[in-house]
Every structure is written in structure tokens, then in C-alpha cells.
Structure 1
Amino acid sequence: MIRRCRVARPKPWEVDDELWAVIEPLLPKVERRIRHPGRKRHPDRLVFQGILFARHTGIAWEHLPQKRGFGSGMTCWRRLAEWTDAGMWPRLHEVLLAKLRSANALDFSKAAVDGSHIRGVKRGAKTERSPVDRGRTGSKHHLITDAEGIPLAVTLTGGNRNDVTQLIPLLQAVPPVRGKRGRPRRRPDVVLGDRGYDHDKYRRLVRDLGVKPLIARRGTEHGSGLGTQRWVVERAFAHLHWFRRLRVRWEIRDDIHEAFLTVGCALICRRRLRSVLSGAVG
């Protein structure tokens, strides 16, 4: 009888050496005091894995399993808030976007936008009564992706905000993506949107940014063909909401929830980059 050995697959919250080499230089440096240094700071890499564990499983901070070595839930939350205040997460996303562009895996010929409502269990900034969820408190994720569905930028609003109000903020939130010689790329050539973005005022504003709007018209028959091009943003939402911490908003602080959103976008970029590089090697 032949026994097959199973290769242990890495857990979604585990950080390998390659990813840590990208993350570590972005972390703010914290010097330990010479006098009265206090308890030694828990290793950043383990704490980062604890944050990913909470984001992936949706577990409450106080229930974070100690046996995994992440540190306490309060330690992970404080480190998350510290890195959020330092602006670390947008920089991580920008670095990974640059690596994708360097690998010719970023397509700025088209971009797709959409919004997705989530329930907010606790009140806080950017939570409002949602008209699509029986008036329950909630928030909205607004996302812009490239032509292949790679997240370029994400914003958070209250659950009562119309998608079209975030069209310009999303385009402006796309970071300058380096990775090639010359000026960094920041604007797509064309932006695709469904009927919720049908407004002539916003079409003019999009053109002012040097982007061509391709938005479905209200009252027209379905079958315009846009659905065959903009489904990538819906797939990107499915990938984001695969992380349980992003399906329901538990955080009172909006910047903490936005941090989880940006981390999700960065890890989708990381997954895509590994796929491209492994295909190139193969």
C-alpha cells in the first residue's frame, strides 16, 4: 500500500519571508527606552499574523487564541491602530501595485467601479440607516479595479450614500503606481459603471480628470455589453468579503475598518502577484 504524504498548505494568516520583506520596511520604527524600558515589545511579525487571523476569521479581539503566539487581542488591536495612524496600509497596497505593474500584470486600459452594502453592528463614523436593509445601520464599500479586477482603491461611506457620489473620490484615491520607467500611472483610460452611476454631471467631472466614462443609461434595455466587462469588480468584492471581518462591520472607528479594507486589497494584489510570477517561472 502506497501512502501519499500531504504537503502542509500555509494558513491564510501566515506571513512568509517574501511578504515580510515587503512589509517590514514600511513599519514605523519604535525605539525602546533606555531607562525603564518595560516589557519587551511583542514581535511585529507575530502581531501582524494575529491581525490577519482576526480579519480572516472575524473573531473578536478578546478571543484571539494565545497558543498561536500572536500576543493578546489588545496588543494586536493597539498595533493595528498604531500602524493605521502611521499610514502603513496604503503604502503596502501601493508597493504591491507597483510590483504588479512591473510584472505587466496591471491593466489601466479600463477600470470598473461598484459599491456593496454591509451591515454595521455598532454605530460609529460612516454608518447610516440603509434604505436597502430595512433601515438597519450599515456602511458601504466602494471599490475601483483595473480591467482584470485588481483593487486600485477603496472607500468607506455610510449605508445611505449613493454609489455615484464616490465615483470621483475613487478615481482620485488611486495612488500613483510606479513599477516602470517614466511617470507613475494614476488614471485609467476608461471607467465602467452600472446604471447607478448614470448622471451627466459626473460624466463631465470624469472627463475633466482625463478619463472616458462608459456608464449604462437608465431606462435602456439590458444587454449593453457592460456586464461582460465590469463583472471583475463584483468578483473583487467576492474576494474581499471572503474575509469574514469585512462581511459585517464590527468596528466603531471607521479608520480601523478602512485599515481592514486596505489590507484585504493588498493581499488580493499579493495573491495575484504570486500567481503571475509562478506562471512566469513555470
Structure 2
Amino acid sequence: MRRHELTDEEWDRLRPFLPVSRLGRPREDDRRVLNGIVWKIRTGVAWRDVPPRYGSWQSLYTRFRRWAKDGTFTAMLQAVQAEADARGDVDWLVAVDSTIVRAHQHAAGARKGGSASARKEDHALGRSRGGLTSKIHLACEGAGRPLAFCLTGGNVNDCTQLEQVLAGIRVPRLAGGRPRTRPDQVVADKGYSTRKIRAYLRRRGIGHTIPERSDQIAARKRRGRRGGRPPRFDRALYRRRNVVERCFNRLKQFRALATRYDKTATSYTAVVTIACLMLWL
């Protein structure tokens, strides 16, 4: 086993989720291909520069795109999360935040289609003063491991994506039944302090610790009794919000995630999924 490759134990856990092809000529060894994909994402090199020990770079890229589209990487991540939850190893205090990722110039220029509004949101790229950027909106559990994420352009406000991020939490139960989708508690910063978000969390029966912004506090005090009571805030719980920052720090050790080189949102979503999977492993 070389650096940035799967151990025997990790390979045994992931092998059952790889699709099996029974037609055509024998394909390259799945473990070698998966090791090549992980190595490429960890180092951030171009596909053409992946070492020959992993086989043809065209085969690696083809297999990566195929598994990205058919949900293979997502199935692997959910399976590893389900194993941890069955052991009682998931802390359901969930911290939510986002991080900006600079898009390399090679990430631009993907083919777009559909209406003008659809083209604007294609491939989760946004333009700001710094150029093209993407934003990863992430929910992680109390130990700092990612549960769900979504991608948008870098110019999208954090609070608009909280519902979508929480909707992405889906941890299957090995004993059967519906997957777990609801955390016990959500911790987020002031960027998520809106009436809509608080009402959404109350409606789902999810406890939340989100500080008020200063303008909201001032507006409530100006109204006196009509301003209502301040929302409940647990300072001790809020100190645990930094787990999501530490999670981003670990994810960005994967260089293909820290700088976006992929043109399509499908490919970059797969890159983030694989990085999340490696943190769980």
C-alpha cells in the first residue's frame, strides 16, 4: 500500500458497492482504479498526470465519471455512515456552515443548456470580485464528520441553503426501517438567524442554537413587548460549532477539493463525496 491508497480493511468495506460488469472484455482491477481516483483527488494533479501504476488515465476518468453519475460514491458514503450509526458512533448534534472554493480557470467553459435561468445556475459556479467560485454548504455531526452537503455558486447566501443541506441527511438503518434524516440539535452562526429557518426547525421538532444578529436584537427591543422574547440560546452548545470549521480544514487537505478543477457539478460533487468518505473511513 502506497501513500493516499486504501488499506485492505477499507477496500473490504467498499468493494461490495462497486458495480459488477459481466459483459465485454475484462476491465482493469477495481481496487487499482479506485486507488488511482483517491490519489488523484488527494494530490490535485491532472488526470493525464496520474502515475502509470494505476493504469490508463482514460480508464480512471471514465470509471470516475460513470460511478459519479450512477451514485456509487454516494452509496459508499451512506453505507459507512450507516455502520457508524449502528455502532452508536454518530453524535446527532449537527453543525452547519459553508466554505468558499476558488475555481481554477480550467473549471470554466462546460457546456450549458436549457433556459436562461437554468444556465445561470449550471455547474454551481458563481462570479464575484475574486473570479469564479463555488460554495460547499455542509452539515457535520458532533465529531466533525460530514453528513450531507450541497453545492452552489460562491455568491449564494448561506441561509438560503440550510433546508436543502438538512434534507440531504439520509443515514440508512442496518436493522431496517426508514433512514434517519432528522438531527437532535442544529448549531449554526448568525448567518442562519432568520425567522424562516427558526420556524422550519421548530416545525420539524429540531432543537437549534443560533445567535441573533445585532440588528435583530435592536429591532426586537424597539418594539417592546410586541417584539417578543429572544430565542433560546445555549452558549455551551454553541462552543461546539467549531467542529464544522475543523471538518472543512480536513476536507481541504484534498487538493482537488480545495481548488475546483472540474467543469461539471456532477464531477465536483463526486470529488467532495469521496473526500467525505475518506474522513469516515
Q: TM-score, normalised by structure 2?
A: 0.83
**CA displacement at 1:147 relative to structure 2:** 1.5
Offset from partner CA, 1:125-149 (integer Å, 9 cap, x none):
110113xxx2411100111011121
Counterpart contact for 1:195–1:215, Cα < 8 Å: yes
> What residue is the counterpart of 1:276 in the other structure?
none
1:21 aligns with 2:21: no
Offset from partner CA, 1:54-92 (integer Å, 9 cap, x none):
0111011111111xx211222111100111111111111
How far apart, in 1, do the equivalents of 2:142 and 2:76 lie? 21
SS of equivalent residue, structure 2 residue 148? strand
> What residue is the counterpart of 1:254 in the other structure?
265
How far apart, in 2, do the equivalents of 1:100 and 1:197 lie? 29
1:57 aligns with 2:57: no
SS of equivalent residue, structure 2 residue 54? coil
**CA displacement at 1:25 relative to structure 2:** 1.5
Amino acid at match of 2:88: N
How far apart, in 1, do the equivalents of 2:262 and 2:152 lie? 14
1:245 aligns with 2:240: no
- Displaced runs of 4+ in structure 1, greater than 4 A? 179-183, 223-227
1:195 aligns with 2:205: no
1:77 aligns with 2:61: yes
Counterpart contact for 1:192–1:226, Cα < 8 Å: yes
**CA displacement at 1:152 relative to structure 2:** 0.6
SS of equivalent residue, structure 1 residue 213? strand
1:88 aligns with 2:72: yes
**CA displacement at 1:14 relative to structure 2:** 1.6
1:114 aligns with 2:97: yes
If asked which structure has higher relative contact order (CA below 8 Å, sep 6+), I would say 2
Could you tell me the percent identity over the aligned residues? 34
Amino acid at match of 1:31: R
Counterpart contact for 1:28–1:86, Cα < 8 Å: no
SS of equivalent residue, structure 1 residue 144? strand
The correspondence of residues 25-40 of structure 1 with structure 2, limited to 5 A, is 25-33=16-24, 37=25, 40=26
SS of equivalent residue, structure 1 residue 89? helix
SS of equivalent residue, structure 1 residue 13? coil
**CA displacement at 1:198 relative to structure 2:** 1.0
SS of equivalent residue, structure 1 residue 210? coil
Does 40-49 or 207-216 show the bigger shift? 207-216
How far apart, in 1, do the equivalents of 2:177 and 2:152 lie? 34
The correspondence of residues 141-156 of structure 1 with structure 2, limited to 5 A, is 141-156=136-151
Amino acid at match of 2:132: T
Q: TM-score, normalised by structure 1?
A: 0.82
How far apart, in 2, do the equivalents of 1:176 and 1:105 lie? 12
How far apart, in 1, do the equivalents of 2:23 and 2:55 lie? 18
CA 1:12/1:161 → structure 2, altered by over 3 Å: closer, same or farther? farther
> What residue is the counterpart of 2:127 in the other structure?
129
Once superposed, what is the RMSD of the aligned Cα atoms?
2.0
Counterpart contact for 2:209–2:238, Cα < 8 Å: no
CA 1:31/1:185 → structure 2, altered by over 3 Å: closer, same or farther? same
**CA displacement at 1:182 relative to structure 2:** 6.4
**Structure 1: stretches of 5+ with no match in the other structure:** 1-9, 271-282
How far apart, in 2, do the equivalents of 1:95 and 1:31 lie? 24
